[in-house]
Structure 1
Amino acid sequence: MTDHAPPTSADPVALARALIECPSVTPEEGGALAFLEGLLAPKGFDVDRPVFSQKGTPDVENLFAAIGKGERHLVFAGHTDVVPPGTLTSWRHPPFSGAIENGVLYGRGAVDMKGGIAAFLAAVLDFVAERGADFGGRISLLITGDEEGPSINGTAKLLKWADERGERFSAAIVGEPTNPSALGDQIKIGRRGSLSGEVSIRGHQGHVAYPHLADNPVRALGPLLAALMDPPLDAGTENFQPSNLEVTSVETDTKVFNVIPARADVRFNVRFNDLWTPETLKAEIAARVERARAMPSLRREGLAPVDLRLTYQPVVSDVFITHSPDLVEGLANAVEAVTGRRPELGTGGGTSDARFIKDYCPVVEFGLVGDTMHQIDERVPLADLVTLGRIYRRFLDDYFS
């Protein structure tokens, strides 16, 4: 991070630039959480920075800052870690410079999601400066450094840590980029679930010139792929897109031309709607794998049944939808009041840390336009940062009125 003084006012542009200047490529803290602590603690926030660990994963620094007292407890959640910048010479401006050109702020994390953090940080600081710490409720900032990484030592553990200390949340806003085209297009009120798995086809390795002495697992791939992906899982529901199973890789254990492999592995991911639970979905996939086992393949007659082994990744994201007028309608009203645009309520896209927060309180996602996230020259118009901060501030005024 460039050595400069913290912004003296709650300016979302200055805050976003300061955060972008922190090279917090996941899982590195990069100075971003230290910057937030240095800004919030002098303003009266109680700030903690727990570090969580798990064997086989990197240690991750997190931040929890809170102010105020009362049963009405609003959480703003986000992450300061960012994806790698890619080829540095391809950037119009250095990715951690926080450069501004023609009213646009450039840098890794400008959209996903240091810009969102800057906007809700500015709104909270303005709100507390005007109302004081005794505003009849409590506001927390729950910031992780592990959203772009394994998501093991971040928000999930930070929520449990806060819960064990007696924090009880009423509602949460995740500042992820949610708008497809213009600020105010969409609030995300839920997400499809996510399930990842692998089917291993076991054969018998051998020389390609002597196939009768081997059993090529690749010959069973056709029936397996057909069974996994056809027919479609469903046609969608009122609130969610159709569930979809996508094969993401097909690999064998050999890379040479004259050896029949001993195994072929098929990896897949399913994004599923509220017609399914993880249990019913796993049962459906298992039935499809069994169907593939019985389907004709290119294998020689007389061989034993195909050896198919189905396993799943341990992290499963459940489907959810939020029903909370205070939160959903309140935020929609704030968006409309500031932008003149009534946002749609959506559930599309990938996963976010909202999947963990939903177990503790109602949660929605609303942030910047996401058209450049993870890209070279990630960027955000300065006007959008200011407008997003105004939306969050309007919501705070209404929520704690």
Structure 2
Amino acid sequence: MSLAVRLLSELIAYPTVSHTSNQAITEWVADRLRAQGFECEQTRYLDGEGVPKFNLIAKRLPTDSSSKSGDLSTQSIDRPENETGLAYFCHTDVVPADRWGGPGGNPFEAVIEDNRLYGRGSCDMKGSLAAMLAAIDDLDASKQSAPLWVVCTADEEVGLRGAKELAQSSPAYRELVALDPVALIGEPTELGVVHAHKGMGGFRVISHGKAAHSSTNRGVNANVAMIPLLQTILELHERSQTDPMLRDDRFDPPTLTFNFGISDHADATNIVPDRSEVWANWRAMPSVDGECLMAEAKAAAEQLGLQFRSYKSVAPLETPIDDPTLVRMCELASSYCGREKAETVCYATDGAVLEELRHRIVCGPGSIEQAHTVDEFIELESLENGVSLYREAVQAFAMKA
């Protein structure tokens, strides 16, 4: 059993579904990295249900005092490639596995079958973390020439909450931002290099009525006031698909993929519904934020006397295609993924809230097609190639040439 497979098996054994605490897995990663000479900062916050969550920033400085962080922060972006520094980002939470259908029957016990490793999080994204930990284990720390970070966040699967907390309150993150290293977000891309992904926006509209027995005339059906707004929602949906000003052809699909739903929460036909809700969300792109849709929906809702609530948006990610660190990462990855140019994807990552970092790159083993599935797996070849690519990335951006 390779080191990466063993590490991934141990990581999967932590049942870190987002509604539970990730303290144990965070401490496990921190202990391993401390043994490799890393300094660790663990920050704690409570999620909306009062469950404690933990972020980790582990940092290892080069042994050469002339290359320590204080000196690097004063250098220009043109500093030598191997002194850029590298920060690897991942999340430790996973989606629920209540309907697990993979081999073995236990989503938190790794099973190897047909050159695949099955288990919740194997692809998204504990496989990536295992690959980076294995890569670091194989490197000579005495040859390190720039800072190296491993950053693990909580709650990525439920609104990027951990990364937001990290950016707002972590002293170690502020130091990382000052040095502006290559920020490698290890989400599954089949080891292709991604330079841009979509963000998210949306809103909720609420109509209030009065509940009563449906045989009387004392109720006020909340759906009545909501119905006129549905025409506006339909028009916005159609416009998002057809308006050429709301397209970015670098993405597939190139539209905002406007999605919406309607509910009056009624569970009995003899009760007048006293609350009706419509929600909508879309995937914003770097050149198309969808705010015009928000403004039209808000105006229509307010005209009808309905309650309008906008969601806090998640920004798209975009690193310029000619960024030197991106170009170099593409060179390193090409032999593993067969693609020489950076690509775009339509899902979002923690990188969306790390906008202070100028060199954000998404690249990791595994395929997004396996993420969140009932039999999630990672190909063993992809996992081992991930170790090799991450090792080369650390050597390129943080090791002596």
Q: TM-score, normalised by structure 2?
A: 0.81
For residues 395 and 222 of structure 1, the distance between their equivalents in structure 2, rounded to whole angstroms, comes to 50
Per the TM alignment, residue 292 of structure 1 is displaced from its structure 2 partner at its CA by 7.5
Cα 1:58–1:149 change in 2 (3 A) is farther
Whether contact under 8 Å (2:95, 2:372) holds in the other structure is yes
Farther-moved stretch of structure 1 (163-172 vs 390-399)? 163-172
Q: 2:310 — aligned with what?
A: 312
Q: Is the 8 A contact 2:265 2:276 kept in 1?
A: yes
SS in 2 for 1:31: helix
Match for residue 37 of structure 1 among 25, 30, 39? 30
Find out whether 1:68 has 2:61 as its counterpart. Answer: yes
Distance 1:12 1:55 in 2: 34
2:185 is matched with which residue?
Answer: 174
Structure 2 counterpart of 1:335:
333
Gaps of 5+ in 2: 73-83
8 Å contact from structure 1 (residues 202, 306) kept in 2: no
Q: Is the 8 A contact 1:67 1:133 kept in 2?
A: no
3-state SS, counterpart of residue 81 of structure 1? coil
Name the CA shift for 1:202/1:50 in 2 (closer, same or farther; >3 Å): closer
Match of 1:22 in 2: 14
Q: Report the equivalent of 2:138.
A: 126
Pairwise mapping of residues 89-238 of structure 1 onto structure 2 (< 5 A)? Answer: 90-93=101-104, 94-127=106-139, 130=140, 132-152=141-161, 154-160=162-168, 161-163=170-172, 166-167=175-176, 168-179=179-190, 184=191, 186-203=192-209, 208=214, 214=220, 216-232=224-240, 234-238=245-249
Task: From the two aligned structures, give the one with the greater strand fraction.
Answer: 1
> Residues 40 and 24 from structure 1, CA distance in 2 versus in 1: closer, same or farther, beyond 3 angstroms?
same
Give yes or no for the alignment of 1:357 onto 2:366: no
Once residues 386 and 50 of structure 1 are traced to their aligned partners in structure 2, the CA distance between those partners, rounded to angstroms, is 31
Distance 1:212 1:391, change over 3 A: same
Aligned in 2, Cα 1:261/1:218: closer, same or farther, shift over 3 Å? farther
Aligned-partner Cα distance in 2 for 1:107–1:349: 24
Pairing partner for 1:261 from 256, 273, 278 = 273
SS of aligned partner of 2:348:
coil
Partner Cα separation in structure 1 for residue 329 and residue 268 of structure 2: 57
Conserved in 1, the CA contact under 8 Å of 2:202 and 2:294? no
SS at match of 1:189: strand
User: Is the 1:155–1:353 Cα contact (8 Å) retained in structure 2?
Assistant: yes
Describe the superposition over 1:56-102 as per-residue Cα deviations: whole angstroms up to 9, x where unpaired. 553211221111244222100001211222135x3312222222223
Shift in Å at residue 24 of structure 1?
2.0
Contact 1:190-1:320 at 8 Å conserved across structures: yes
In structure 1, which of residues 244, 252, 255 is the aligned counterpart of residue 257 of structure 2? Answer: 244
Letter in 1 for 2:4: P
Distance 1:103 1:282, change over 3 A: closer
SS in 2 for 1:112: coil
* Percent identity between the two aligned chains: 21
Counterparts of 2:248 and 2:9, CA distance in 1? 41
State the one-letter code of the partner of 2:156.
Answer: E
Change (3 A) 1:68 1:292: closer
Alpha carbons 1:245, 1:270 under 8 Å: kept: yes
The equivalent of 1:297 in structure 2 is none
Residue 42 of structure 1, CA deviation = 1.7
Q: What does residue 302 of structure 1 align with?
A: none
Return the TM-score normalized by structure 1.
0.81
Distance in 1 of aligned mates of 2:148 and 2:35: 16
Deviation at 1:20, TM superposition (A): 1.2
